[in-house]
Chains A and B, each alone.
Chain A
Amino acid sequence: MVASPALQVSGLTRSFGGLPALAGVDLELRPGEVVGLLGPNGSGKTTLINVVSGVYRPTSGRVELLGHDATGQAPERLVRLGLNRTFQTPRPFRPLTVLENVQVALRHGRDAAQSPEEILELCGLGGQGGLPAESLNSSQQKRLDLARALATAPEVLLVDELAAGMRHDELDGAAELLRQLAAAGRALLVVEHLMGFVRQVTDRVVVLNAGTTIFAGSLEEASQDPHVVEVFLGA
């Protein structure tokens, strides 16, 4: 049986000053699956995450989250409906401690089953809860960003370039973590440039170019698709 989609995006557009950044994107995420979102720079990947997570209102189109209409909702509202995201450039609450960062999320999101310490442990920040967030390095900040998102107990998690900036020996752990999250029934959309990481983590991929979906399917098929190859190699 195929589960009903956790996130369904249809015909989503968003223009900035008349220029379309998203020109009709369709996307479907099912519980327990990890979907890779690929595309060259400027293809609209981060814009898509920002529109779906409520940072920008869509110009048109529809976002459906766990069966509810979530189009154009404010971020804090979407969090409570069960959607969260991480940032390409994480900005933790710098003056707060690592633990406090997670506590804020835990208090204002949905009820998470885990304690903040457990979430930090899960994200590889165990024992660092007392540090001020501004003392973390960029890889740790990404983990904290993820921990903060997990603390709101999302059903749908949008992950924007988690691996970028991580050391090689950290990548396996990060991939493992994302797989675990999916195994627990969450739906993940992962934006990533590192193909090895994408291969490790995702079940299938969606490719964007110039704000539209040009491919949806397995990574293997994508690498054979002439259109996708053309877009990536500029041939």
Chain B
Amino acid sequence: MLWLFALIAGVLFGLYYGLAALGLNLIFGVMRMVNLAHGDVIMLGGFAAVLLFDHFGVNPLITVLLVIPPSLLVGYLTYYLLGRRVQRSRDPEMMSLVMFFGVSQVIEAVAVIAFGNNEASITSAVFGTRPFSIAGQGVPGAWLVSAGVGLVALVLLFLYLYRTSLGRATRAIMSSPDEARAVGVNPDRISALTFGIGVGLAAIAGILSLFMIGGTTPSEGVDLTVTAFAVIVLGGLGSPMGTFLGGIVFGLALMFTQTYAPVWSGFAPFAILLVIMLLRPTGLLGRTVRSV
């Protein structure tokens, strides 16, 4: 039953990919900025987990909670120091690419100085070495943990966006920022908070990436940003729920090609991205084609 395992693995990895891309899409949706340093934040999350585990024996699941306050703080500061200026420029999308490319380079260089160039990870034994049985297939516990954290993050984000007034204001800004201001929404406050949430989600994904993609290294940020970007384009720019759908399509494409044509597995998810872009330029759940 190779296909059944590929299906289960695809969905579980999809939830992880969705989580890894969620922050990027949220930030894009609210601020129309592309955070090219997103993958580097994922990388830093991974190193945070490794360091806390190596030196203090902190379980990575605890680290998931620990990274939230500093992420919010970093997000707030980044928005007020850098993001706001970019957003007020004539072409925030383009300017954000330039600026966050720089930020990405700086983070990578500093990470090399701080952590060295080595690949770092935590032994998978933390989440047990006995696979769980799902539909008769032995699935690694770490995958379930990662997918579970992804799901919890999705549900919490959903509740935040749809059940709280800040969340409603966030969606209002994503829909039309000028009108949101016209009803009194302070875009800076919402943007800074969103940036913090986006950074936090990326850092959490980084912790889980130790168990989903084996480890973390200072140079991996760019690749992760590319993957996350593919996922959000697949799911629809500005659509957080679409991001998870995009992640699952990405995960399924990866796992099915790994099963039936492994040598194409690096290419297939991007081929599917291309096909979906041709058929539906807005992505799976995207609303409108943006004029750039």
Least Cβ distance of A76 to chain B in Å? 5
Determine the main DSSP class of B at the interface with A.
helix
B71 to chain A, nearest CB (A): 25
Interface residues of B, count at CB 8 A = 19
Q: Tell me which residues across on chain B come within 8 A of A53, comparing CB atoms.
A: 182
Contacts known (A76-B186, A93-B176, A94-B287); A100 close to B168, Cβ less than 8 A:
yes
A95 at the interface (CB under 8 A from B): yes
Bound together, the chains give a CA A101 to CA B172 distance in angstroms of: 8
In the bound complex, how far is the Cα of B168 from the Cα of A101, in angstroms? 8
In the bound complex, residues from chain B placing their C-beta under 8 Å from that of A91 are 176, 178-179
Which residue of B has the minimal Cβ distance to A95?
B175
- The 8 Å CB contact of A76, one of B171, B175, B187, B287, is B187
Contact B185 A104 (CB under 8 A): yes
The answer to whether A75 touches B172 (Cβ under 8 A) is: no
On chain B, the residues within 8 Å of A101 by CB distance are 172
Would B172 and A76 count as touching, CB distance under 8 A?
no
A104 touches B180 (CB 8 A): yes
> How far is A93 from B177 in the complex, measured between Cα atoms in Å?
9
Interface residues as binary, A100-137 with B (CB distance below 8 Å gives 1, 0 otherwise): 11011101111000000000000000000000000000
**A76 with B185: CB separation less than 8 A:** yes
- Residues in A neighbouring B182, C-beta threshold 8 A: 53, 55, 75-76, 79, 84-85, 87, 149
CB within 8 Å of A: which of B160-216? 165, 168-169, 171-172, 174-176, 178-187
* A104 in contact with B187 (CB, 8 Å): no
Cβ proximity bits A139-153 to B, threshold 8 Å, 1 near / 0 not: 000000000110110
Decide yes or no whether A166 CB sits under 8 A from chain B. Answer: no
Interface range for A: 20 to 34
With A94-B287, A95-B287 already in contact, the answer to whether A105 and B184 are too (CB < 8 A) is: yes
Query: Which residues from chain A contact B180 at a C-beta distance below 8 Å?
Result: 93, 104
Closest chain B CB from A91 CB (angstroms):
5
Chain B residues contacting A149 (CB-CB under 8 Å) are 182-183
Min C-beta distance of B18 to chain A, whole Å: 19
The chain B residue sitting closest to A103, CB to CB, is: B168
Check A183 for interface membership: any CB of B closer than 8 A: no
Is A80 interfacial (CB 8 A cutoff)? yes
How many angstroms from the CA of A151 to the CA of B183 in the assembled complex?
Answer: 8
Interchain CA distance A75-B174 in the complex, whole Å: 17
Q: A103-B165, A107-B165 are in contact. Are A93 and B172 (CB under 8 A)?
A: yes
In the complex, whether A74 has a CB less than 8 A from a CB of chain B is: yes
* Cβ contacts under 8 Å, B287 to chain A: 94-95
Is A105's CB under 8 angstroms from B165's CB? no
**Chain B residues near A96 (CB, 8 Å)?**
168, 171-172, 175
With a cutoff of 8 Å between Cβ atoms, the chain A residues found around residue B169 in the complex are: 104, 107-108
Determine which residue in A93, A101, A109 has the highest number of CB atoms from chain B within 10 A of its CB, and name it. A93
Q: Supply 13 A–B pairs (Cβ within 8 Å), ascending by A.
A: A55-B182, A75-B184, A76-B184, A79-B182, A91-B179, A93-B176, A93-B180, A96-B175, A101-B172, A104-B180, A108-B186, A109-B184, A110-B184
The 7 A-B residue pairs with the shortest CB-CB distance in the complex, in nearest-first order: A79-B184, A105-B183, A108-B184, A93-B175, A109-B184, A107-B165, A75-B181
Interface residues of A (CB under 8 A from B): 53-55, 74-76, 79-80, 84-85, 87, 91-96, 100-101, 103-105, 107-110, 148-149, 151-152
Residues of B within 8 A of A (CB): 165, 168-169, 171-172, 174-176, 178-187, 287
Apart from A74-B181, A103-B165, what are 4 other A-B pairs with CB-CB below 8 Å? A53-B182, A75-B184, A93-B172, A151-B183
